[in-house]
């Protein structure tokens, strides 16, 4: 998934703050993998006409480790 991102990615964390950059997102993913086993379903991706902004809506199924 990281290969699809640009270095200036912005991630608004659910019930958290805002992080900037691909490296910060990699760290976030590593942390999530350590504490959760989950999968995303019912994924919908929304984007602006000019492609500068995007968002995703999804349902997470999983468990705490």
- CATH code at position 50: 3.10.450.50
pTM higher than 0.75 for the full model?
A: no
Angle at 4 between CA 13 and CA 55, to 5 degrees: 40
Summarize the confidence of residues 14-18 as an average pLDDT.
89
State the pLDDT at residue 23: 96
What's the domain range around 13?
2-64
Give the tens place of pLDDT for each residue, 30-56.
999 999 999 999 999 999 999 999 898
The tally of domains found in the chain comes to 1
Distance CA(65)–CA(47), nearest Å, equals 33
State the pLDDT at residue 1: 80
Summarize the confidence of residues 3-29 as an average pLDDT.
93
Position 16 pLDDT exceeds 90: no
């Amino acid at each position: 998934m990281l290969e699809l991102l640009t270095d200036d990615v912005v991630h608004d964390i659910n019930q958290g703050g805002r992080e900037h950059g691909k490296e910060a997102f990699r760290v976030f993913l590593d942390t999530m993998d350590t504490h959760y086993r989950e999968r995303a379903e019912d994924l919908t991706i929304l984007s602006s006409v000019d492609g500068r902004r995007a968002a995703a809506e999804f349902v997470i199924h999983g468990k705490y480790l």
